[in-house]
Amino acid sequence: MLFLGIDPGSNGGFGVVDESGAYVTCNHVNALGPGLAPKPELACIEAQSNRRCDAPGAQYGLQKLLIHYGKLMGILEDQGVRFRKVYPMSWRSRYKLVKAPWRALIARVQEMWPEAPIKLKKDDGKAVGLLLADYARLIYQEAMTT
């Protein structure tokens, strides 16, 4: 049984763990597309929402992010993958990473999955993807025990 986590940001990534929480794979989010095989039991995608952007060009970046977010949810729906949109505060609090910088995210992932190819700032999207995959696994297991 596999669990998928997706960080839809421009430097986003995805991660996959199995039912025991063991590392399976991770990659840049652009490598994720139709034909998910084997199909994950549950996916968590980091929720995105419209927010105020004052910086020049920031609104364009936000629009691109929201379009990409919608496309990723479409891929999941098209493949028949059950998914949950989770807000950063929810999953980050589970791992005690609220307001944590990227270095803390990467350190936590290296601690949990030393074999994962995550070491640099450019890998933070993959790190988030793996943590979201593990969060999906925990949500699924909690639902099965209640």
pLDDT tens digits along 62-106: 666 777 778 888 888 888 889 999 999 999 999 999 998 989 999
Please report the DSSP string for 16-42 in residue order: EEETT--EEEEEEGGG--S--SSPPSE
Q: What does the domain layout of the chain look like in residue ranges?
A: 2-145
pTM for the model stands at 0.88
CATH of the domain spanning 2-145, picked from 3.30.450.20, 3.30.420.10, 3.20.20.140, 3.40.50.11260: 3.30.420.10
* CB contact burial 74-102 (16+ within 10 A = b; e otherwise): ebbeebebebeebebebbbeebebeeeeb
pLDDT tens digits along 22-74: 999 999 988 887 767 688 999 999 987 655 655 666 665 666 677 777 888 88
DSSP, res 120? S
